[in-house]
Amino acid sequence: MKHFYLILPVFLLLNACNTLKSPEFQGIESVKLKNDNEQPVLVANARYHNPNLVGGQFKISEVKVFVNDKFLANLNSATYQVPSKKDFIIPLEVDLDQNYFKKNNILEALNSAINNKLKVRYQGKIYYVSYGLKVPYKIDYTQNIKVFN
């Protein structure tokens, strides 16, 4: 009987680990350009739902941002808390080089200005970490945004 009380917590812990699910990706919203101290910043919100009874963390480390199919930048490494049994938002911000279009293609910049849109793509992995488990989560999302409001 003494051993039962020692085995029960281990069994419950293993059972909880087996039912741990990755948070559900619901989409990226509010993708827009903003000027922050005259530095253009690409801003977006990634929306998720955590179905687990326990929280955890998201670690962003391998997400690349492309504008008009050209590599722009990597998202900065960051860690965000994931609440249990809730919807939550992870902010995604990338500082844009003011000379980005000059470096890549002036005609492309003019085309984007005339059409008033940029094709923005987020691609890579975000890691969900909870109770020692590290689960990779793939991101591949593309959206056209307006350059001028």
Query: Can you give the CATH number for the domain in which 95 is found?
Result: 2.60.40.1820
Tell me whether residue 111 is in a domain.
yes
Please state, in angstroms and rounded to a whole number, the distance separating the CA atoms of residues 53 and 16.
9
Distance from C-alpha of 136 to C-alpha of 112, rounded to nearest angstrom: 34
Q: Indicate the pTM of the whole model.
A: 0.65
Q: Which domain holds residue 54?
A: 22-145
Residue 1 lies in a domain: no
- Domain membership flag for residue 97: yes
Please report whether residue 4 resides in a domain.
no
> Helix, strand, or coil here: 11?
helix
pLDDT in tens, 96-142: 766 655 555 555 655 565 666 778 888 988 888 887 888 887 888 88
In a domain, 95, yes or no: yes
How many structural domains compose the chain? 1
